[in-house]
Each structure stands twice: as structure tokens, then as C-alpha cells.
Amino acid sequence: MIEVQDLHKSYGERKAADGVTFAVEEGEIFGILGPNGAGKTTTVECVAGLRAADSGTLRVGGLDPVAQHTEVTRLLGVQLQQSALQPKLTVREALELYASFYERPADWRDLAGQLGLDDQLDTRFGKLSGGRQQRLFIALALLGNPRAVILDELTTGLDPRGRRDTWDLVESVRDRGVTVLLVTHFMEEAQRLCDRIAVIDRGRVTALDTPAGLIGRATAATSVSFETDPRLGHGELTTLPGATGAETHDGRTTVTGTDATVNAFVQLLARTGATVRGLRVTDATLDDAYLDLTGADQ
């Protein structure tokens, strides 16, 4: 549905996109992760035809987003990071206005009902909560009956409940048959929603995989932590199969490694007769993989 091949875009001496390449399959939620300034928004703005690439090939449904911009706007809905409306505009007025831009718009009343806005139609934009504003932006992005939609930093500024409600909305968009290109910096969001993820760092795609595939690349896929026991020294713990390290902090020892490390640790307990307190086994998360891929200092 969306193809980006060797995209280059610079602002003066700064390279915002330096050979970005990925493809988004029809019907999937494709995520883009990366540090601030990595080139995420520049990339999706080029996909939307809002910026012209310096070089490279971009296609949306087989169309060039710049040369065939009018046709692409019929295929692609966009919600950008800095979206805003005039504060006194009501929800109804916004939906009617945006619907007028399309020859065959979706029924805005149906969209309002599906997105929980039907009781807010006469509320002015400036009076809406952050979550309601995001619902409205999703509705506006869907008014043209697009085959794909770009959602850039959709849940920034929302509280945990609003964020999770918005995740449900994104999944409902995909269930409508719409392909979603999602830009986010929330690891939990990406891990829950995305079928595949491209990690962009310094204008380049440094990894592209499923969430599970990225997590599998983490330096330590599993960790075991427990209240420190003198019978279990660091030397013995770091020699467990698959172990990548052991450290003690505030009375708790943590051993990082793999599933094999966990099994060997259990066998070690049986051999030594040690009974540890507060035992926890934790799988790696997308946070761990992200830090490995982009550098923990970013």
C-alpha cells in the first residue's frame, strides 16, 4: 500500500532522511519508532506529499504523492503531530467542513457515532478534552474513505486512560480495512498495536521486524531478580548458560540472560538449597530492544 525506497531529505546540512526504505502492506498497522529528530515526521510528510523528497521513490497505492497529489489525497488520510483547529469551531462544523472537501465522503454522522463524538457535536474544539480532540482528528482523517491513514504521535499528551481508549480506536480503524502508518515514541503503544515496526535513527532504518522479532534481538531477553542471597555469588551467576551479566542494587540481585539462564538458575537453587525471596522473572520488552538499537543515551 505504501512504498518508500531510498528516501533522502535534507534541511541545509542536516540529513533528516538518509536512505529510508520500507514498505507497508495493505491492512496492517505499521509503526515507525525513533528518537526525537530521527526523521520520522519528515518521512511521513514525504509519504503524504506534504514535502518533496530530495531523491528516492515514494508510492501510495502505486501513485506518486507529489506528482499525483490530488489522487493520493483520495487514498490517504493524515493526522499530523501538530494538528489543531480553530478553538471556536464545533465538532459538527469541523466534520461538515472536512466532508465538503471530498466528492464521496463518508457519512460524518456515522463516524461521529463510531468514535464516540455524537454527544459532542455542538462542543467547540477548544472545550474538548485531549482524548476527544484525538477522536475528532481520527474522524477527520477518515472522512475521505481512505485506504490508508497516517497517524503521527497520536497519543502524545493523553493520560493513560485516554491513551488506551485511543489504541482501541486505532484497532477499530484497522478493522475497517484501513492500512495504518503509525508514528509513535511510546514503546507500549507500538508493542500492542503494530504488526511490524521500522526503527529510524539518524535518518536511517536501523531495524525492521515484528515487535516480537525486535524484542528477540535485545541483549538480554530475560532477567531474574531476587533479594540478594550470599550463597549465590556473582561469579557463579554470570557463568550460567546464556547469562549476560549480574548486578546488585538496593539489596536485589538481577541476572540478565535468556530462557536457558532461568532454567539453569532454578537448577542452581536446587543444588545449593538456597531459598530466595521476592523472585521475579521478567521478559524483555520493546523498550529494551529500542535502547539496544538506538543507544541508551538517546
Find the CATH number of the domain harbouring 244.
3.30.70
What pLDDT is stored for residue 123 in this prediction? 96
Residue 149 included in any domain: yes
**Is residue 241 packed enough to be buried (19+ CB in 10 Å), middle (13-18) or exposed (0-12)?**
middle
Q: What percent of the chain has pLDDT over 90?
A: 55
Q: Is 98 found in the same domain as 6? A: yes
Q: Which of 175, 209, 243 is the last residue of a domain?
A: 209
Cβ atoms of 52 and 66 closer than 8 Å: yes
Residue 240 included in any domain: yes
Q: Is 163 found in the same domain as 193? A: yes
Q: Is 279 found in the same domain as 185? A: no
Q: Is 29 found in the same domain as 124? A: yes
What pLDDT is stored for residue 30 in this prediction? 97
Which contiguous run of DSSP H or E holds residue 247?
Answer: strand 245-249
Q: Is 290 found in the same domain as 236? A: yes
| 104: region left, alpha or beta (phi > 0 left; psi from -120 to 50 alpha) | beta
Q: Which set of grid coordinates corresponds to residue 164? A: 488506551
Could you tell me the residue range of the domain that residue 61 belongs to?
A: 2-209
In 76-86, which positions are buried (b, 16+ CB within 10 angstroms) versus exposed (e)? bbbbbeebebe
What pLDDT is stored for residue 297 in this prediction? 46
Q: Under DSSP, is residue 148 helix (H, G, I), strand (E, B) or coil?
A: strand
Total tally of structural domains belonging to the chain: 2
Residue 188 included in any domain: yes
Q: Which of 209, 238, 268 is the last residue of a domain?
A: 209
Residue 217 included in any domain: no
Q: For the segment 126-159, what is each residue's pLDDT rounded down to a tens digit?
A: 999 888 888 899 889 889 999 999 998 887 777 7
Residue 38 included in any domain: yes
What pLDDT is stored for residue 219 in this prediction? 64
CA-based nearest residue to 90, from 40, 136, 138: 136
Q: For the segment 189-236, what is each residue's pLDDT rounded down to a tens digit?
A: 999 999 999 999 999 999 999 998 888 777 667 889 999 877 787 888
Q: Is 159 found in the same domain as 76? A: yes
Q: Is 96 found in the same domain as 205? A: yes
Low-confidence ranges of the chain (pLDDT < 50): 296-298
Q: Is 259 found in the same domain as 118? A: no
Give long-range contacts, CB 8 A cutoff, 24+ apart: 124-129. Answer: 124/87, 124/88, 124/89, 124/90, 125/85, 125/86, 125/87, 125/88, 125/89, 125/90, 125/91, 125/94, 126/87, 126/88, 128/91, 129/162
Q: Which of 153, 188, 209 is the last residue of a domain?
A: 209
What pLDDT is stored for residue 138 in this prediction? 86
Q: Is 110 found in the same domain as 10? A: yes
Find the CATH number of the domain harbouring 136.
3.40.50.300
Q: Is 157 found in the same domain as 227? A: no
Q: Is 227 found in the same domain as 189? A: no
- Predicted TM-score (pTM) of the model is 0.80
